[in-house]
Amino acid sequence: MANDTTKRNIHEAYTIIKEDSLIIMEKYSYNLDYRITRTTKKGSYKIITRYYPNYSISSQYSVFAGNLIGVKRDYSEKGELQEEINYDRLLTECGDCASLFDIAENIRKDFKINIEKEDEIIRWSIEKDKILNSTVYKIVCPPKYPDGRSYRGLIYDLQTGKFIEEYKAGRFD
C-alpha cells in the first residue's frame, strides 16, 4: 500500500518493463478505480488512462514533464464522451503553432538535447514574451557539462517555429 500525490491509497501497483517501454498499473482503494501510465524509462512524456471499477475508460490524457498537453477526454461509466479539453489550444493563442513534439525534435537536432528524457529537462512553460509580443516556450535543461556551469535556458518562438535565444538559466527562473 502506497500513497500517490493526491493522497489516495494505492491498493495494488504493477510495473511492466520491456526494453525501454514502461507501463505502470495502479488500483486505488479510495474508489477502486484504476490508472495505467505508459511511458519510457526516464521518459517525460506519459499517456495516462484511468478506468472506472467496471473497467470502462474514465479519462485519457497526456502529460509532458508534469504539465498536461494534448487533448484530455473524460467519459461516463457507460463510455459516452462527457468532456474534451485541448490543453495545447488553451496554452497558446495562435491556431497552428508548433507542438511540443515538434520542439522536442528541433531541440534534439539543434542542441543535441533529448527533452523527452526526464534527466535532460528541468522544466518547461508557455509564456507571453513582452518584448517579442508573442507566445514562446521556455525550456530549461541541465548544463551541457556537469562542472558547475549554469542551467541552459532555451526560448522557442511558437509563431516562427525557431529557437530565438539560448541563455544561462537559474534553477527556478
Nearest-angstrom CA–CA distance, 80 and 58: 10
Domain coordinates of the chain in residue numbers?
2-90, 100-169
How many alpha carbons fall within 13 Å on the CB side of residue 36? 11
Looking at residue 97, its pLDDT comes to 65
| Dihedral angle of Cα 22, 88, 114, 49, to the nearest 10 degrees | 0
pLDDT band at 4 (very low <50, low <70, confident <90, very high): very low
- CA–CA distance from 76 to each of 52, 80, 120 (Å)? 9, 5, 38
How far is residue 167's CA from residue 154's CA, in Å, rounded to a whole number?
6
Dist CA 145 CA 142 (whole Å): 8
Instruction: Quote the pLDDT of residue 80.
Output: 94
DSSP state of 90: H
Nearest of 162, 110, 111, 109 to residue 134 by alpha carbon: 162
Q: Which helix (H) or strand (E) holds 87?
A: helix 87-91
- Phi/psi of residue 7, nearest 5 degrees: 70, 20
Per-residue pLDDT tens digits for 124-148 = 888 878 887 777 888 888 887 777 7
What dotted CATH number matches 100-169? 3.10.450
pLDDT confidence band for 3 (50 / 70 / 90): very low
Question: Model confidence over 152-164: pLDDT tens digits?
Answer: 888 888 777 788 8
C-alpha 130: how far from its chain's center?
25
Mean pLDDT of the chain: 81
In the chain the first and final C-alpha atoms are separated, in Å, by 37
3-state secondary structure of 153: strand
Strands 81-86 and 123-129: unpaired
Q: How confident is the model at residue 83 (pLDDT cuts 50, 70, 90)?
A: very high
Does residue 67 surpass a pLDDT of 90? no
Query: pTM of the full predicted structure?
Result: 0.69
